[in-house]
Amino acid sequence: MNPSQAAQSEDTMQYGIFSVGDVTTDPTTGHTPDDTERVRNILTIARHADEAGLDVFATGEHHNPPFVPSSPTTMLGYLAGLTTHITLSTATTLITTNDPVRIAEEYAMLQVIADGRMDLMMGRGNTGPVYPWFGQDIRQGIPLAIENYALLRRLWTEDVVDWTGKFRTPLQGFTSTPRPLDGVPPFVWHGSIRSPEIAEQAAFYGDGFLHNAIFWPMEHTAAMVNFYRQRFEHYGHGSADQAIVGLGGQVFMRKDSQKAWDEFRPYFDNAPVYGHGPSMEDFTRETPLTVGSPQQVIDRYASFREQVGDYQRQLFLLDHAGLPLKTVLEQIDLLATEVVPVLRAEADKARPAHVPADPPSHAERVAAARAAGEVHEQKPAAADHWTGKTAEDDLAAADAATR
Amino acid sequence: MSERSIVVLSAGISQPSSTRLLADRLRDATVSELAARGITAQVETVELRDLAHAVVDMTLTGFASGDLARVIEKVEAADGIIAVTPIFTASYAGLFKSFVDILGKDALVGRPVLLGATGGTTRHSLTLDYALRPLFTYLRADVATTSVFAATDDWASDDEVNPLPARIRRAGRELAEMVADREPSAPTGLFDAVPSFDQLLGGA
């Protein structure tokens, strides 16, 4: 069997967008989209990002209003069928409150449907009540993330799993289906803003680490990323500068910088996540939020590699603060045509040859696994390994029962 | 001579402020008692009023901007803290509490703290014991037995029956003894106590 074709074949840094999926009133019109409108808008945004040539679309996962994306693989599976180039991902998949067995199943299914054009990012979730709603406790956030992910990896790499842990009912003889595409699981990122334990986890496994710095000064981001890099090297996955790093950011652009400030200010001043705290001047100085011309965005984002090193994925939040769909699509066009080509060329030129340009694609992971002799060939499951029965046996039994 | 760092937090609103006056006297008493023990005090006095906007911003955003980040680092690395607030509406000033709220919950564990408060009349003096002391007990700070309340009247008389100067000296002595007995603090970083992955996995 040949490894599936991955769209991301050229060696170049990835630029994409992520959506938190919040429903926010447009303060300039008073319009609040309902959940259906917001979900459809996100689908339009993702397809537009694909058509514009961006590399990644990632969706958040939430289980409380005012956020709509509760079911990421449903959304991403649909997008996999309608897009051709863009890598589909998450920001983030809740490794704490989701059953790791369901994550294994759902994302392996997405991997097959998307023909490998996907990855995913683990996150813990910071909304207290979501934990008890799913039978968990936020104070166990880190232990949940550690144990659940350890189980998830086994479900993807071992055909039959016996397992006992603290947080989930034990498994005996469990097989997660479908088995991963070409016997190689999806690439995994771990996202955390404040917990070095998660950077440690990402480094231990040689997975990617994404710091979503949208509310944080770059000094803090650099400290977390550099800790991950050192631990990545410590665990023998390569040199520190070869670790797979992603950053989050957010921008608002117009060709004329002053127009960008005038247009975005009412959104900034009223958004639940930005408003009524620091001024837009303070916030744009302290965090990656950049409001201005495409050239100003280029200047700002091109400088981040000086603090975190050469990195592989930059995600932008564009559909925030209640901006209308039309504006978001214009932002995608500006990003894709004026900003990304310049940033990409600068990043690709500055990066030493031994540093990966992008996170590993499915095809690259298959090739690496084969070279290491780690590909697990799937045995045809002719019979249920519990009952020894085949589908034909079941059919015969069903016929007998209904005769 | 060895050195210790003292941070003085004053939450007075007006300028000049009687809260700052009390804070300065507690500082002087502590510094001279430390000097008597052969210890040089490096003192930083912080007017929380100057940080008021940054404190609210951090409450809303979760990160400290500008000078506030530096002050929080100083507080978290101090060998001793003198915290003085005016009493407003039967409790500490909101600004004072807002500042304490943005400190990490473990920032003051085991840290010697001297408490002071100011108010219009001595009727409010117990606020130190029903509001401030429990707050710092919750934070597991090491709070000096003597805390000092100064009412307006206390600043008027300057005779041998006014108990305020003696209280200030006693409080300064207590804090100096606690600070002197303690090893100097080393600043701790976010990454100092991260368990290795084996420990994380074992604990899961």
Q: In B62-195, which ranges are continuous DSSP H helix?
A: 67-77, 94-102, 127, 133-138, 164-181
Q: Does the structure show a pLDDT above 60 at A8?
A: no
Instruction: Flag if A278 and B61 touch (Cβ within 8 Å).
Output: yes
Residue A6 lies in a domain: no
Q: Residue A105 belongs to a domain with what CATH number?
A: 3.20.20.30
pLDDT at A272 over 90: no
Residue B49 C-alpha, separation from nearest chain A C-alpha, in angstroms? 17
Sign of the CA dihedral with B102 first, then B107, B108, and B109 last: positive
Is A278 within 8 Å of B60 when comparing Cβ atoms? yes
Cβ-nearest to A276 among B60, B65, B201: B60
Give the one of B57, B65, B200 whose C-beta lies nearest to A200's C-beta: B200
What is the residue-averaged pLDDT of chain A?
Answer: 93
Residue A60 pLDDT more than 60?
A: yes
Rounded to a whole number of angstroms, the distance from the CA of B76 to the nearest CA of chain A is 17
Question: How confident is the model at residue A1, as a pLDDT?
Answer: 37
The count of domains in chain A is: 1
Is A4 a domain residue? Answer: no
The answer as to whether A8 is a domain residue is: no
Number of folded domains in chain B? 1
- Pairs of residues, one from chain A and one from chain B, whose beta carbons lie less than 8 Å apart: 58
CA distance A338 to A293: 10
Task: Name chain A contacts of B57, Cβ cutoff 8 Å.
Answer: 277-278, 282
**Residues whose CB is less than 8 angstroms from the CB of residue B83 and which lie 6 or more positions away in sequence, other chains included:** B9, B96, B113, B114, B115, B116, B132, B136
ipTM rounded to 2 decimals: 0.78
Residue B137: how many CB atoms within 10 A of its CB? 11
Tell me, yes or no, whether A7 lies in a domain: no
Instruction: Please report the pLDDT score of residue A65 as a whole number.
Output: 94
**Residue whose pair of structure tokens reads 């990195």 in the numeric block:** A311
Question: Which residue in A324, A325, A333, A335 sits closest to A44, CA to CA?
Answer: A325
Give me the amino acid identity at A62: H
Tell me the residue range of the domain where B148 lies: 2-203
Q: Tokens representing A84? A: 């051709």
CATH number, domain at B185? 3.40.50.360
Q: Which domain covers residue A348, as residue numbers?
A: 14-402
Is residue A357 within 8 angstroms of chain B, CB to CB? no
Model confidence pLDDT, tens digit, residues B99-120: 999 998 899 999 999 999 999 9
